[in-house]
Amino acid sequence: MSERFCYILERTQPTLESLSDGWSMLGLKLENPRTGLISCLTIAGDEQVDHTLFDRRFRAGSVTFQLWIERESDVICSYQQLDIGAEQIYWVDGLSSEQVERITTWALNRFQALAPEEIPILTVIELASNTGPEDWRLFVKQRVLPVGIPKMIAVKSEWTPLFASVLPNAKPMDGYEILSRLT
């Protein structure tokens, strides 16, 4: 199975409203176009919930759900409040290149917009299945680089030297850097 994803780790838990505003700008909707409810994914299967229950799960710090791009096209999103920060993973397998571009551009723009407030910790754009989210959790906790290198990483500048040998093209940005692998 391919693991193409956009990984976002932030210091503080975002509000559902702030994320929803960003999703709306991308044309993403929480509500399933067929049912009008929110599709939460659990070990037991899909569960259709209303906004109240979804909001409760989101604020509790752990929920996996679908964001709808079109009637037949969705993004699986996992949100967890971890000891290292608030983690969002957007799984982009099965999306068109234009849809993937919209999501990854939004993630990097979010990183840049929140950087002055020192909220972002890490944003990873992984489109080649070189790494998984667990690799980036380990990196944040222990500063151990994954074996594979993703297409793009946005990190705090203090972490840039850790990537110098594998991602030499750094773009400085107010105490943060965006590093990219030539493709």
Whether the per-residue pLDDT at 169 is higher than 70: the answer is no
Most confident of 3-7, 140-144, 160-164: 3-7
**How far from chain centre, in Å, is Cα 40?**
17
- Whole-angstrom Cα distance, residue 183 to residue 181? 6
161/111: higher pLDDT: 111
Would you say 113 and 8 are in contact if contact means Cβ atoms under 8 Å apart? Answer: no
Looking at every residue in the chain, the average pLDDT score rounds to 86
- The pLDDT value recorded for residue 54 is 95
- The pLDDT value recorded for residue 1 is 42
Could you tell me which residues are beta bridge partners of residue 73? 70
Helix axes 51-60 and 16-26, enclosed angle (nearest 10): 120
Structure tokens at 154: 């946005």
pLDDT in tens, 102-148: 999 899 889 888 888 888 889 999 998 889 999 999 998 898 888 88
Whether the per-residue pLDDT at 170 is higher than 70: the answer is no
Confidence label for 52 from pLDDT (cuts 50, 70 and 90) = very high
- What's this model's pTM, rounded to 2 decimal places? 0.89
Whether the per-residue pLDDT at 182 is higher than 60: the answer is no
Domain residue ranges in the chain: 5-180
Could you tell me which residues are beta bridge partners of residue 106? none
Q: What percent of the chain is modeled with pLDDT above 70? A: 90
- The pLDDT value recorded for residue 65 is 96
Three-state SS for 149?
A: coil
Would you say 160 and 170 are in contact if contact means Cβ atoms under 8 Å apart? Answer: yes
Confidence label for 183 from pLDDT (cuts 50, 70 and 90) = very low
